[in-house]
Amino acid sequence: MLDVRRLRVLLAVAEHGGVAAAARALTFTPPAVSQHIAALERQVGLPLVDRSGRTARLTANGHRLAGHARQVLAALEAAEADMATIGGTLRGTLTIGTIPTLGVALVPAVLATLRVTAPEVDLRIEQREPEDSLPALTRGELDLALAGEYGLAPHRRPVHQDRIDLFTEPLLVAVAADHHLTGPDVDLAELRDERWIAPAAGSSCETILQRSCALAGYEPHVVAHCADFAVAAALAAAGHGVTLLPSTAIPTTTGHHSPIRLLSVRRPHIHRTLYAAIRPGTRQHPLISCLLETLTSNAQQLRVDL
């Protein structure tokens, strides 16, 4: 019996043009991909990859099995879709990966809606960054990924994933309540001499800070790295520095007596697009379709509230 996970790896090699490219898409190491292919080769008794050149590519037999893999995986999706609507009631389990901000701002509302509209749909939720969730979606470990992309730090779109944009939000500068800047907005150039609380080192969030400040003509003086926007906001409130916050990450305590103030950024324009990603062909799956409809309707309301 051929392993479905190994078939997904074989299909990734076919669709990405080689073992190394498939490894990048799946966030596997090339040896790990090769091990999956070698296991398939032992099962079928045929060479599936030509390893004689600089780039390991599928043989004719490998492409033939990849074609079967495509059909098998599509048939499995169709079988799950059929089972999900037996008796006229949506039922089944979906696993979604979500970035933290949407896990707080959007997912709870989605869960509340589904408890009323589709009570027999069970959502399994995993907090994951896009660098992890999108490859996991390709590997079949997730059914849907909720992610974000910064306008000044776009990432390469994964091959063979469908993206549904939910809404775009601005990034704001958070400063302590007693900060000397008093206006409702600011140019980043005015913050040249500030201490900056940066997102996690190496993250796309940190990249947007570095690129935004570079456009304003300077390198930010970073005095802290925080993977959690709530921690960054708390440090800004304590006067340790200033930080960038997406609108969905704004603390609920902001207001007249808040320990932080939020400034809109005039220049450069900084924004983030929040989106859902799914595997191709799953949009018509009744559970995925229901989840997407619930996500988009709640996202629309969230956008109005921001």
Tell me the per-residue pLDDT of 216-246, one tens digit each, with 9 for 90 and over.
Answer: 999 999 999 999 999 999 999 999 999 999 9
Name the pLDDT band for 12 (thresholds 50, 70, 90).
confident
User: Which pLDDT does position 87 carry in this prediction?
Assistant: 67
Distance CA 116, CA 111 (A): 9
pLDDT digit string, tens, across residues 57-78:
888 998 999 888 888 887 887 7
pLDDT digit string, tens, across residues 129-186:
998 999 999 888 999 999 999 988 887 777 678 999 999 999 999 999 999 998 899 9
Checking 226-231 for CB contacts under 8 A at 24+ apart, the result is 226/197, 226/198, 226/199, 226/200, 227/199, 227/200, 227/203, 228/100, 229/100, 229/101, 229/199
User: Which pLDDT does position 1 carry in this prediction?
Assistant: 78
C-alpha atoms less than 13 angstroms from C-alpha of 102 in its C-beta half-sphere = 30
Distance CA 246, CA 65 (A): 45
Instruction: Give 157: exposed, middle or buried? Use CB within 10 Å, 0-12, 13-18, 19+.
Output: exposed
User: Which pLDDT does position 255 carry in this prediction?
Assistant: 54
Domains of the chain, start order: 4-75 (1.10.10.10), 83-167+272-305 (3.40.190.10), 169-271 (3.40.190.10)
